[in-house]
Chain A
Amino acid sequence: MNDVKMETMSEKDMRRVAVRQAIVKGLVKFGVYAFLIIMALIVLFPFYWMINSSLKTLDEYRMSVPTFWPHKVMISNYASAYKTANLGKLFVNTVIVGVVSTILSLIITVLSAFAFARLEFKGKDMLFAGLLATMMIPGELFTITNYGTVTQLGWTNTYTVLIVPFLVSVFYIYLLRQNFLQIPNELYLAAKVDGTSDLKYLWRVMIPLALPTLISITILKMMGAWNSYIWPRLVANDAAHRLITNGLRNAFTETTGDVNYPVQMAAVALVSLPLFLVFVFLRKYIMQGVSRSGTKG
């Protein structure tokens, strides 16, 4: 049918149709780009506003007509933010908790994932299914009891209380087990024939092959320590053990009304900076881990 139509069309008509199609295509393309770029600017705006505000003098921030770049760049806001929120101590606390819990968590995760992926034992499938089922339960349900448990153990206001309860993540075990399962079993059997021990095999073969997943877990775990708020506030809210997010909120309790925003925004920028650096250099691993997790931190 199309052929018949084509024949009756003059060459001029065909050219006109082609031109019209090209125009529509161009307009659609323009529309798509316009939409994406406007959305990207909206997404970026808070970051720009944070930096812009953090560099202003208080007087300039309080001008009724906003300025889009500070007249006088106040780097000193960052120094006062650092001092006001005692950011140095908070950074150190968070790094200690982040590093220790990441290392311990990686060891536990690797060992359990190996057991689930390679070793045979009674009730393996049932135990694994049971673990996966706990992922459905909201964390608050655990927190209520855990709060009592750590109080009785005398762990409040220690690093331990920030590290131990979250050492095991069923999701990470699941993630790593899937990765381990992709490594052919023949490799394991060959190693057994050669008399290689399980631990040596795990260290020499499986860990290097699963390195991308391990890096993803490391980053997510560190980001988790950096962003955790509820649990640290509940159990370790003293100056000696306070973590960064909690400390930030504590140092700047005023959110509405007459706030010294430039200093507050400088503190926010300082807290956000490490996350951005991780993002810039390790984006690939974060995106890999995130697309499978669906949770933040």
Chain B
Amino acid sequence: MVNSKHQWKAWIYLAPAIAVLLVFTVWPIFNTVRMAFLENYSGLEATNGATFSFGVGNFVKVLKYKRFISCLKNTMILCVLTVPISTILALLIAVGLNSIKPLQKILQTIFFLPYVTNSIAIGMVFAAMFNIVGAFYGTENELIVTAGIINNVIEFFGGTPVNWINYGSQYSANIAVMTVYIVWNALPFKILVLLGGLQSINKQYYDAARVDGSSRRRIFARITVPLLSPMLAYVVITGFIGGFKEYTSIVGIFGENMGPADDAGRLNTMVGFIYDSLSTNSQGRASAAALILFGIILVVTLLNLYVSKKKVHY
């Protein structure tokens, strides 16, 4: 049975982990909540001996900030666009990969490739693809040296080039670029999980359906999707969590400006807002924003779990 000598040993094994966790995980949970509820808390002033009164002012102020609302809006828009698009694309690709034999391995490898990349580095490549090189300021003496490969392709098919990310670009064009990049980045993980799920579905279900003469579409809707639903729920939930923490992919494309040259911060996100507050030593505001972010992630996760409990077939 459990004796005290064993107990002692277990805690020694756990000691290094617990020491690090206490300082860098447990303490921050309490301290961040504390700072969020101290009015206008600033780390700099606190070290100078200032005291702060208790209250919910940080939350009120954060929610009234135009910049915070714009960050929240950007984050939401990117989530709502990228999660469904990447999930549907990943599902189609995974089902396709699962149905073929020749080339399956090589295609699977290619589709996983974007996972092993650096979001900042490849963001710079995407920026180069969408960027218009030249003195392009939307004025009459604008000079387009090269319109960028994406615009070249658009022109090749007879379209007009779009100012995607440069000075004077539209918000919708910026969001379109971000959506393309985030979906490109999100596909590998989703394909990996969904393909793994597909490969574990018992072949007998398909054989039975085929004997019954069910159509492909019916088999997909009645067998594949229900049996894959736990994996689908998983990639949707992790997709939303990742989406609400979007930040580096935007830095990759727009730089620390977080927006086109004429409108810095236009594409800032919740995480970006938290770091901006931190760098101005407004820890109270940053903490309140982080708790709001946590609350949103919690609600979205619970909502997803609730919906999937009804819909997911285990």
Which residues from chain A sit less than 8 Å from chain B, CB to CB?
28-29, 32-33, 35-37, 39-40, 42-44, 46-47, 49-50, 53, 61-66, 107-109, 111-112, 114-115, 119-122, 124, 131, 134, 136-149, 151-152, 164-168, 170, 173, 198, 223, 226-227, 229-230, 234, 245, 248-249, 252-259, 261, 264-265, 268, 271-272, 275-276, 278-279, 283, 286-287, 290-291, 294-296
| Cross-chain contact A141 with B291 (CB below 8 angstroms) | yes
| Complex contacts, B20 vs chain A, CB 8 Å | 108, 164-165, 167-168
| Cross-chain contact A66 with B28 (CB below 8 angstroms) | no
| Cross-chain contact B7 with A122 (CB below 8 angstroms) | yes
| Complex contacts, A65 vs chain B, CB 8 Å | 152
Complex Cα spacing A254 to B242, Å? 27
Partner of A275, one of B29, B97, B116, B247: B116
Partner of A141, one of B29, B135, B193: B29
Complex Cα spacing A227 to B117, Å? 8
With both chains docked as a complex, state the minimum distance between the C-beta of B19 and any C-beta of chain A, in angstroms.
9
| Cross-chain contact B134 with A272 (CB below 8 angstroms) | no
- One of B64-72, B78-86, B221-229, B253-261 at the interface: B253-261
With both chains docked as a complex, state the minimum distance between the C-beta of A260 and any C-beta of chain B, in angstroms.
10
With both chains docked as a complex, state the minimum distance between the C-beta of A193 and any C-beta of chain B, in angstroms.
16
Interface membership of B203, Cβ < 8 A? no
Partner of A50, one of B47, B125, B253, B279: B125
Q: By DSSP majority rule, is chain B's interface helix, strand, loop, or mixed?
A: helix
| Complex contacts, B23 vs chain A, CB 8 Å | 149
Interface string of B266-293 (1 = CB under 8 A from A): 0000010011001100010011001101
Which residues from chain B sit less than 8 Å from chain A, CB to CB?
2, 6-7, 9-11, 13-14, 16-17, 20-21, 23-29, 31-32, 35, 43, 47, 89, 92-93, 96-97, 99-100, 103, 107, 109-122, 124-129, 131, 133-136, 144-147, 149, 152, 165-167, 184, 187, 189, 192-193, 196, 216, 234, 238, 241-242, 244-245, 247-248, 251-257, 260-261, 271, 274-275, 278-279, 283, 286-287, 290-291, 293-294, 297-298, 301
| Cross-chain contact B13 with A144 (CB below 8 angstroms) | no
In the complex, 15 of the A-B residue pairs with CB atoms within 8 angstroms, ordered by the A residue number, are: A29-B100, A43-B113, A46-B122, A111-B13, A119-B10, A136-B298, A146-B24, A146-B28, A149-B23, A152-B47, A227-B120, A230-B275, A248-B118, A257-B131, A258-B134
Partner of B11, one of A40, A121, A264: A121
Partner of B111, one of A43, A46, A122: A43
| Cross-chain contact A36 with B133 (CB below 8 angstroms) | no
Q: By DSSP majority rule, is chain A's interface helix, strand, loop, or mixed?
A: helix
Complex Cα spacing A283 to B106, Å? 12
| Cross-chain contact A137 with B294 (CB below 8 angstroms) | yes
| Cross-chain contact A230 with B248 (CB below 8 angstroms) | yes
- Beyond the given A165-B20, A230-B271, please list 13 additional residue pairs across the A-B interface where CB-CB is below 8 A: A33-B100, A50-B125, A138-B245, A144-B286, A146-B24, A168-B21, A223-B116, A227-B119, A249-B256, A253-B256, A268-B121, A278-B116, A294-B234
| Cross-chain contact A255 with B115 (CB below 8 angstroms) | no
Assuming A144-B290, A261-B128, A268-B122, is B28 touching A256 (CB within 8 A)?
no
Partner of A144, one of B32, B110, B127, B242: B32
| Cross-chain contact A138 with B96 (CB below 8 angstroms) | no
Partner of A32, one of B99, B113, B116, B152: B99
| Cross-chain contact B149 with A66 (CB below 8 angstroms) | yes
Partner of A111, one of B17, B103, B146: B17
| Cross-chain contact A256 with B238 (CB below 8 angstroms) | no
Partner of B122, one of A53, A137, A148, A272: A272
Partner of A276, one of B2, B116, B145: B116
Partner of B113, one of A44, A115, A230: A44
Closest to A250 in B: B256
| Complex contacts, A253 vs chain B, CB 8 Å | 255-256
| Cross-chain contact A272 with B2 (CB below 8 angstroms) | no
Partner of A294, one of B25, B131, B167, B189: B189
| Cross-chain contact A142 with B28 (CB below 8 angstroms) | yes
| Cross-chain contact B261 with A131 (CB below 8 angstroms) | no
Complex Cα spacing A139 to B113, Å? 26
| Cross-chain contact B193 with A46 (CB below 8 angstroms) | no
| Complex contacts, B92 vs chain A, CB 8 Å | 35
| Cross-chain contact B21 with A144 (CB below 8 angstroms) | no
Complex Cα spacing A149 to B192, Å? 38
| Cross-chain contact B131 with A173 (CB below 8 angstroms) | no
| Cross-chain contact B192 with A290 (CB below 8 angstroms) | yes
| Cross-chain contact B28 with A249 (CB below 8 angstroms) | no
| Cross-chain contact B24 with A149 (CB below 8 angstroms) | yes
Complex Cα spacing A23 to B189, Å? 34
| Cross-chain contact B184 with A46 (CB below 8 angstroms) | yes
| Cross-chain contact B291 with A257 (CB below 8 angstroms) | no
With both chains docked as a complex, state the minimum distance between the C-beta of B138 and any C-beta of chain A, in angstroms.
13
| Cross-chain contact A229 with B248 (CB below 8 angstroms) | yes
Closest to B110 in A: A40
| Complex contacts, A139 vs chain B, CB 8 Å | 245
Complex Cα spacing A256 to B256, Å? 12
| Complex contacts, A146 vs chain B, CB 8 Å | 24, 28
| Cross-chain contact A32 with B297 (CB below 8 angstroms) | no
Closest to B257 in A: A255
Closest to B149 in A: A66
| Cross-chain contact B100 with A291 (CB below 8 angstroms) | no
| Complex contacts, A109 vs chain B, CB 8 Å | 17
